[in-house]
Amino acid sequence: MKVYRSRISLTLVAFMLLVCYGPFLFIPEEGMMPTFVAVTIVVVCVLLCFCGIKYVIDGDVLKIYSFWGIHEDIKISSITKIERSRCPLSSPAASLDRLAIRYNKNDVIYISPRREEEFLEDIKRLSTRKNTKSIVSPQATKSQ
């Protein structure tokens, strides 16, 4: 069993902080403390979610966990393609530098493992497909 944590994008965190706390800079009003505290609680929860995302390769299954215990199991043999993506759709990835994992017939999930090259090598090694080069696209293996 091998565990990979999600990469956390400082740009994504900075954008979230700007959106959440920016209004407090322009609306200096008394009585805003309860709102400020509520926003801070939400920000801390989101940051905890970011830190709780992990990807586990357990045998021939890729298990994707989020902070709240939600997880998805993907059989590595069902993966048809992995490619780089910057898709901002909601996903278990705390960075916009993502890998799009296409599996089954039409399913896709976006992840952002911290040790990406090592993750890709493990997927290639465990893949049961005869031509693993067709799974991991050349774009996915380019160095950043």
pLDDT at position 141 is 54
Mean pLDDT rounded to a whole number for the chain: 85
The answer to whether the beta carbons of residues 61 and 75 sit under 8 Å apart is yes
Q: Which domains does the chain have, with CATH numbers?
A: 1-130 (2.30.29.30)
Beta bridge mates, 108: 102
The token pair that represents 20 in the structure block: 């959440």
Mean pLDDT to the nearest integer, 88-114: 90
* Tens digit of each residue's pLDDT (9 = 90 or more) over 25-78: 887 777 788 888 999 999 998 888 888 899 999 989 999 998 777 788 999 989
First to last CA, the chain: 27
**What is the percent of the chain where pLDDT is above 90?**
44
Sequence-ordered list of residues with C-beta below 8 angstroms from that of 62, at least 6 positions apart, any chain: 55, 56, 73, 74, 75, 76, 79, 101, 123
Which residues, 6+ apart, have CB-to-CB distance to 32 below 8 Å?
24
